[in-house]
Amino acid sequence: MKKEFPLTLQQLKTIYEPDWDLFVEELIPNCFCANCPGPVSIVNYTIVVNDLNDIILTGHCAVCDDSVNRYIETGEDEYYVARIQRVRKEMRK
């Protein structure tokens, strides 16, 4: 059974502080689309955190509107794991 939970954009910003600019400038525009050459931006995305504390963006290619995903391995970084756990705890209140 998957243990994913959705995040709001504000919660994602809380997790990525102070690296929010890096997230916007490096991760959002560097997604793979099977239809387009080179990296593309992901738009209209939803955000979830999985049971490994990794962030998954599910959205659409900014060029052709096909479905794209971005998997961000935050679960291997203790700093991000601690921030994700803090958001999880706040959500339970």
Q: Residues 6-51: pLDDT tens digits?
A: 999 999 999 998 889 999 999 999 999 999 999 999 999 999 999 9
Distance, in Å, from the CA atom of 91 to the CA atom of 30, rounded to the nearest integer, reads 29
User: What are the structural domain ranges in the chain?
Assistant: 5-92
Q: Residues 67-92: pLDDT tens digits?
A: 999 999 999 999 999 999 999 888 88
Q: How far is CA 22 from CA 3, 17, 19, 30, 70, in A?
A: 27, 10, 5, 12, 15
